[in-house]
Structures are given as structure tokens and as C-alpha cells.
């Protein structure tokens, strides 16, 4: 949801190269499907999701990791590896939207909603929805497989592949566990800040920032000191990134976030923002929050009441303070990190953009 990543130096050109790799890969897959007389909507749905926006954040950070480890230029093998991370992210989005029952993503219908409409003819509404969900699960699974295929046709040397593969495996496991923690905590508002922060670390900080940086650095043959410094930087900035995202999910607008503004509140997401509000609320405030958070039919009036309480309890300001502390921690790491000056400059700018107020 974070706006402004496009301002990073060279981001537009890198995004175009990553997008070109993804487009070429999907064009080939669409041609193969046509020859086999397989449904065209499979590759069309994925292509349209990838084309609907997104900042290509993980690919950009993969390139930043390469530069931090002293990599020169942006070889095609690096771009293809970065593109495989974006393909994996698309898989995560497709399944995440199913779990969240989201109607839109990046301003367009989610894959499961689009498939439900596509297959609505001759079916009840309920049956069409079920087909949409089932089809989206399968497209997501295929997207996961294709992300692995993209990595293995990237042209990496055996040494590079051996260095990257364990990181890919760890990244996938971490985000799945993070998502599991998120799903099982949703709908049960609790004043458990520690658990909310654990979800943040595994669902976002490691998956979105740390592992892409590690993967790019591994391609450049990063020594342990570089990888340790990247982790010391990535975890606080990644946590701040998600805390900002949580604020946008409640107080932002769909034009900024690309998602309906009620989704997180209707799901009763166990965020640091909510946990702090419940921790600080009085009995009356807590009762209202528990009655509204996670309500499937929550309307704008109810959401506004939640927003009022998140502000009145001091939770919103507390999260802003946490973002500021984490941002400062990440910037301190960069002062002594063993990265080239150009990489430090880029990561400083990313820190500013990812943690900035946007609403």
C-alpha cells in the first residue's frame, strides 16, 4: 500500500525490465495453453493482476541487496531472479485475497471475484462464488510453481543457485507461517501487542524486506558481515513499513491503498494498532471495539467509530511513535554498514519513503 516507491533512483527502469520478463514469460505460457486448448483466463487473470499496479518492491530490494554486496550493473540474471520474487508475491496476493474475502486489489476485481463473474452463467450465485474461489486457489498454486520455474531459468550459475535456493525456501516458509498467524488471530481482537509484532515480522519484515535483500546480496557473493548488516537494517524498517501499512489500511483511502478501506476492520485483523487500542481502552471503549471489530456487516459509520477510538486511546499516536523509533534504528545501522555509498543512499531513501506519512 505504500506510495512513493517509484521515487527510488532507477526504480522506473528496473520495474520496466522486471515487467518485461514477466510479460514474456506469461506470453509463452499463454501460447502453450492455447496449443493445448486450455482456458485462456488462467494466464489472463495473472497477467492482469501483475499489470494492475504494484511497486515491484521485492524486485527493487533484491537489486538493492545486490548493490549492497558490491554487485555491479544490473545483469539479466539478476532481473529474472527479481521477477521470480514478484511472481511469488502474486501467488501470495491471490491466496491472501481469498482468505480475506477481498473484492478488489489494486483497484481491480480480485482473481476469485473475476472468476466467479466469468463462470456465473447457468450457476447460482453461491455456486459461481465457489468456482471462483476454487479456480483462484489453482491459479495461485500455478503462480507459485511458475515463480520457481522463473528462478530456475534465470541463468544463474550453480554457485549462485546454491546460495539463493535456501533463502527462497526460508522466505516461503516464513511468509506462510506469518500468514497462518495472521489468519488464526483474525476475528478475535486481543490486547496482545507481542503477538501482533510477531505477525508483522514474519508476514512482512522478513518476506518483504529482509529476504529480497538477502537474495540479491547472495547473487553477488555477499560475505556474512554484509548479510548480518542487511538483517539489522531490514527488520526494523520492514516492521515500520507494516505498521505504516496498518495505519493506511484503517485511516487511508482506497485511492492510496488499492483496497477497500473497511477490509481490515471487517476481518478483525490482529494488528499492533488494534492491540494497543484494546490495551489502553477503558471498559466502555473496549466493549465498543470488541463489538465492531470483525463484524462482517461493518459499515462506514461503525468504521468511523472504530477510528475515533483508535485515536482517542492514543493507539494511533503510539504506532506513529513506534514507526519513528524503528526508522531511527534502521538509519543508525546504515551509518556503519559495510555497503557501497550508492547502496546506502538508496536504502536511506527507501527508509524515508516506506515510513513516511501518506494520509
- pLDDT, residue 9, reads 65
Which pairing describes strands 104-105 and 108-109: parallel, antiparallel, or unpaired?
Answer: antiparallel
- Which are the contacts of 155, defined by CB distance < 8 A and separation ≥ 6? 76, 77, 80
Write down the pLDDT at residue 320: 97
| Total Cβ atoms within 10 A of residue 48 | 15
For the chain, 359 residues long, give each residue's pLDDT as a single digit of tens: 444 444 666 889 999 999 999 999 999 999 999 999 999 999 999 999 999 878 899 999 999 999 999 999 999 999 999 999 999 999 999 999 999 888 888 888 999 999 999 999 999 999 999 999 999 999 999 999 999 999 999 999 999 999 999 999 999 999 999 999 999 998 888 999 999 999 999 999 999 999 999 999 999 999 999 999 999 999 999 999 999 999 998 998 776 665 667 888 998 999 999 999 999 999 999 999 999 999 989 999 999 999 999 999 999 999 999 999 999 999 999 999 999 999 999 999 999 999 987 65
What's residue 273's pLDDT?
97
Query: For residue 152, what pLDDT is reported?
Result: 96
> What pLDDT shows up at residue 252?
85
pLDDT at 267: 87
pLDDT the model gives residue 256? 64
At 1 the pLDDT is 45
- For residue 57, count CB atoms less than 10 angstroms from its CB and return exposed for 0-12, middle for 13-18, buried for 19 or more: buried
Amino acid at each position: 500500500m505504500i506510495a512513493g516507491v517509484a521515487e527510488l533512483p532507477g526504480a522506473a527502469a528496473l520495474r520496466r525490465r522486471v515487467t518485461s520478463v514477466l510479460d514474456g514469460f506469461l506470453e509463452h505460457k499463454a501460447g502453450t495453453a492455447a496449443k493445448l486448448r486450455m482456458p485462456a483466463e488462467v494466464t489472463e487473470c495473472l497477467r492482469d493482476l501483475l499489470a494492475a499496479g504494484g511497486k515491484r518492491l521485492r524486485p527493487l530490494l533484491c537489486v538493492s541487496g545486490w548493490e549492497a554486496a558490491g554487485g555491479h550493473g544490473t545483469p539479466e540474471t539478476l532481473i529474472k531472479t527479481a521477477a521470480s520474487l514478484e511472481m511469488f508475491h502474486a501467488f501470495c496476493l491471490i491466496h491472501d485475497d481469498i482468505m480475506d474475502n477481498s473484492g478488489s486489489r489494486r483497484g481491480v476485481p480480485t482473481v476469485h471475484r473475476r472468476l466467479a463473474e466469468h463462470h456465473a452463467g447457468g450457476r447460482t450465485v453461491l455456486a459461481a462464488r465457489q468456482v471462483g474461489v476454487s479456480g483462484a486457489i489453482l491459479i495461485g498454486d500455478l503462480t507459485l510453481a511458475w515463480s520457481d520455474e522463473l528462478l530456475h531459468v534465470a541463468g544463474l550459475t550453480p554457485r549462485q543457485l546454491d546460495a539463493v535456493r535456501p533463502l527462497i525456501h526460508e522466505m516461503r516458509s516464513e511468509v506462510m507461517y506469518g500468514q497462518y498467524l495472521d489468519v488464526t488471530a483474525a476475528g478475535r481482537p486481543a490486547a496482545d501487542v507481542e503477538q501482533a509484532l510477531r505477525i508483522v515480522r514474519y508476514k512482512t519484515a522478513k518476506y518483504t524486506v529482509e529476504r529480497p535483500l538477502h537474495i540479491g546480496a547472495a547473487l553477488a557473493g555477499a560475505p556474512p558481515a554484509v548479510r548480518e548488516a542487511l538483517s539489522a537494517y531490514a527488520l526494523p524498517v520492514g516492521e515500520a513499513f507494516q505498521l505504516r501499512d496498518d495505519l493506511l489500511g484503517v485511516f487511508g483511502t482506497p485511492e492510496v491503498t488499492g483496497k477497500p478501506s473497511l477490509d481490515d476492520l471487517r476481518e478483525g485483523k490482529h494488528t499492533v494498532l488494534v492491540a494497543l487500542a484494546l490495551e489502553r481502552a477503558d471498559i466502555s471503549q473496549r466493549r465498543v471495539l470488541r463489538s465492531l471489530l470483525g463484524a462482517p456487516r461493518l459499515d462506514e459509520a461503525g468504521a468511523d467509530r472504530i477510528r475515533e477510538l483508535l485515536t482517542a486511546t492514543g493507539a494511533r499516536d503510539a504506532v506513529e511513535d513506534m514507526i519513528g523509533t524503528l526508522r531511527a534504528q534502521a538509519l543508525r545501522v546504515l551509518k556503519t554498514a559495510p555497503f557501497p555509498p550508492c547502496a546506502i543512499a538508496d536504502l536511506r531513501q527507501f527508509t524515508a519513503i516506506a515510513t513516511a506519512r501518506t494520509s
